[in-house]
Structure 1
Amino acid sequence: MTQSTPAAGKDPAGTGPEASVPVPAAASGGPISHAIFRLARLHRMFAGQLLRRIGLHPGQELVMMHLWELGPQRQTDLVRLLDSDAATMTRTIQRLEQAGFVRRRPSPTDKRASLIEPTAASHALRREVEQSWSQLEDLVTAGLSADECTEALSTLERLEQNLVQAAADPTCAAER
Structure 2
Amino acid sequence: MSETAGAAGVGPMSHAIFRVARLHKSLAGRLLRETGLHPGQELTLMTLWVDGPQRQVDLAAAIDSDAPTMARSLARLERDGLVRRTRSDSDRRVVLVEATEASLACRPKVEAAWQELERLTVGSLSPQQQAGIAQDLRLLESNLEPLDP
Query: TM-score if structure 1 supplies the norm length?
Result: 0.77
Pick which of 119-128 and 132-141 moved more: 119-128
**Residue of structure 2 in register with 1:157 after alignment:** 138
- The answer to whether structure 1 residue 118 and structure 2 residue 118 are counterparts is no
Q: Which runs of 5+ in 2 are unaligned?
A: none
1:78-118: CA deviation from partner (whole Å, max 9, x where unpaired): 22222222221111001101111101223132123331110
How far apart, CA to CA, are the structure 1 residues paired with 2:86 and 2:72?
Answer: 17
Which one has more relative contact order, counting CA pairs under 8 Å at least 6 apart? Answer: 2
Aligned length: 149
Q: Who wins on radius of gyration, i.e. which is larger?
A: 1
SS in 1 for 2:37: coil
Q: Which runs of 5+ in 1 are unaligned?
A: 3-20, 169-176
**Residue of structure 2 in register with 1:40 after alignment:** 21
- Which residue of 113, 118, 129 corresponds with 1:148? 129
Structure with more of its chain in helix, by fraction: 2
1:54-75: CA deviation from partner (whole Å, max 9, x where unpaired): 1100000111121112211222
How far apart, CA to CA, are the structure 1 residues paired with 2:94 and 2:6?
Answer: 50
How far apart, CA to CA, are the structure 1 residues paired with 2:70 and 2:147?
Answer: 25
- Which residue of 66, 82, 88 corresponds with 1:101? 82
Are the aligned partners of 2:8 and 2:15 in contact in 1 as well (CA < 8 Å)? yes
Shift of 1:46: 0.4
Identity %: 50
Query: What is the identity, as a one-letter code, of the residue corresponding to 2:15?
Result: H
**Residue of structure 1 in register with 2:59 after alignment:** 78
How far apart, CA to CA, are the structure 1 residues paired with 2:109 and 2:115?
Answer: 10
Query: What is the identity, as a one-letter code, of the residue corresponding to 1:25?
Result: G
- The answer to whether structure 1 residue 60 and structure 2 residue 41 are counterparts is yes
Shift of 1:24: 2.4
SS in 1 for 2:105: helix
1:122-175: CA deviation from partner (whole Å, max 9, x where unpaired): 12222221111110011111121111111111111111111114447xxxxxxx
SS in 1 for 2:97: strand
How far apart, CA to CA, are the structure 2 residues paired with 1:145 and 1:111?
Answer: 50
**What stretches of structure 1 move > 3 A for 4+ residues in a row?**
165-168
How far apart, CA to CA, are the structure 2 residues paired with 1:160 and 1:75?
Answer: 24
